[in-house]
Structure 1
Amino acid sequence: MPSHEALSALLDPATTVLLTVECQQGVVGPDSALPELAEEARSSGALANVARLVAGAHESGAQVVHAIAERRPDGRGANRNARLFRAAARLPVQQLSGTTAVRVAPPIEVAEEDLVVRRLHGLSPLAGTDLDALLRNLGCHTLVVTGVSANVAVPNAVFDAVNLGYTVVVPRDAIAGVPSEYTPAMIRNTLALVATVATTDEVLGCFKPLRPS
């Protein structure tokens, strides 16, 4: 576990961005296309912890970015080169652009200053999107990765961020995957090798609220 001093050094709000990954209604909401994942995200407390982190980032002045996965109704530009994509195309709930399914899910609150990055293809919020350019323009050094799933999108985001030169912090209780026992094993054996693993409370302890002007 990182010391408070070491974590605080990484989490300067001026150079830290909090990223929520696929925390959208069609994924983690009550009408999810993936009900098992949605239940795990909620019952584990991960989604509530993401909401707490977003609120803390807003209070401290750290930038928040929401990464949303969606597809056009005609499927143009979407991947078809893996079983995951073909299965997703047959689900009863589709992550279609402009629908409720691709809105950020409660209890996460989206502020006016938040950025939303949408992707029509692939597995990662960083590969082939505007996110890297936005992070660099924001002066981001540290990326805090939260959301779902620990199976696919979250590790993709972490690896891509590390490959692009960002320092990554993963709050282990603010990500979820299925089955439930997979997430801690993946964090311990994979993400801990490339990212700083902390808890939601530890990250929030480093997000100092802005002083009133």
Structure 2
Amino acid sequence: MASREELAQQLDPGSTVLLTVECQEGVVGAQSALPELAAQARSSGVLRNAARLVGAAHEAGVQVMHAVAERRPDGRGASRNARVFRSAARLPVQQHSGSAAVRVAAPIDVADEDFVVRRLHGLSPVAGTEVDALLRNVGCRTLVVTGVSANVAVPAAVFDAVNLGYTAVVVADAIAGVPAEYTPAMIRNTLSLVATITTTDAVLGCWKRPRRTPNTYRPGPAASHA
């Protein structure tokens, strides 16, 4: 865990973006395609903590971004090169574009100033999407990652963020995976090697400041490519 001072520096509202990963009705909602994951996200408080973080980010002027996974009803352009994609295509609930399944799930609030980035292919919320360009255009240096799942999309987002030069912060009690014991093992043995690990309460403590204008473009590179 980072010290309070180090965390506060990393989470400066003017250069931080909060990312929710696949916190959508068809994944963590009542009619989830993945009921075990949805149950874990809700019973553990992960979805509630993600909502608390989004609310605090809105109050502090931190840019919020919601990454949503979806597919066209005809499947055109969808990835088929891994078992997880083929399995998902057979699930009774499909993440079809424009359907209720791809709406950001309650109790997470989506504000007018939030970005909602939708992808039709791949495993990562970052690679091959608009995320990197948007982060740079708002002057992001630190990406705070929340959501699901700790099995695939969350670590993919963290690795891609680090490879692109951002500082990644993982909120340990705001991510979920299955089985339940897998998430702390992933955090301890993998994510802690590349990201700052923290808690919802620690982040909220850093963001309890007077409201300021959301991130705006700043001249110069937002992240190093060294």
So what's the TM-score if we normalise by structure 2? 0.93
- On the 8 A contact 2:17/2:62 being kept in 1, the answer is yes
Deviation at 1:2, TM superposition (A): 1.2
Residue of structure 1 equivalent to 2:36? 36
Residue of structure 2 equivalent to 1:54? 54
Residue-by-residue CA offset, 1:23-69 (whole Å, 9 max, x unaligned):
00000000000000000000010000000000000000000000000
Residue of structure 1 equivalent to 2:201? 201
* CA–CA distance in structure 1, aligned partners of residues 39 and 66 of structure 2: 20
3-state DSSP class of the match of 1:192? helix
* CA–CA distance in structure 2, aligned partners of residues 110 and 26 of structure 1: 17
Deviation at 1:210, TM superposition (A): 2.6
- On the 8 A contact 1:25/1:32 being kept in 2, the answer is yes
- On the 8 A contact 1:65/1:116 being kept in 2, the answer is yes
* CA–CA distance in structure 2, aligned partners of residues 10 and 194 of structure 1: 14
3-state DSSP class of the match of 2:117? strand
Please say if 1:132 is aligned against 2:132. yes
Residue of structure 1 equivalent to 2:172? 172
* CA–CA distance in structure 2, aligned partners of residues 205 and 59 of structure 1: 12
Runs of 4 or more, structure 1, over 6 Å off, are none
Superposed, 1:1-213 pairs within 5 Å as 1-211=1-211
* CA–CA distance in structure 2, aligned partners of residues 94 and 192 of structure 1: 33
Deviation at 1:208, TM superposition (A): 2.7
3-state DSSP class of the match of 1:174? strand
3-state DSSP class of the match of 2:105? coil
Deviation at 1:209, TM superposition (A): 3.5
- Matched to 1:136, the amino acid is R
3-state DSSP class of the match of 1:92? coil
Deviation at 1:212, TM superposition (A): 8.7
* CA–CA distance in structure 1, aligned partners of residues 39 and 211 of structure 2: 37
Q: How many residues align?
A: 213
Computed over aligned residues only, the root mean square deviation of the Cα atoms, in angstroms, reads 1.1
* CA–CA distance in structure 2, aligned partners of residues 17 and 207 of structure 1: 12
So what's the TM-score if we normalise by structure 1? 0.98
- On the 8 A contact 1:172/1:198 being kept in 2, the answer is yes
- Matched to 1:79, the amino acid is S
Extract unaligned runs of 5+ from structure 2: 214-226
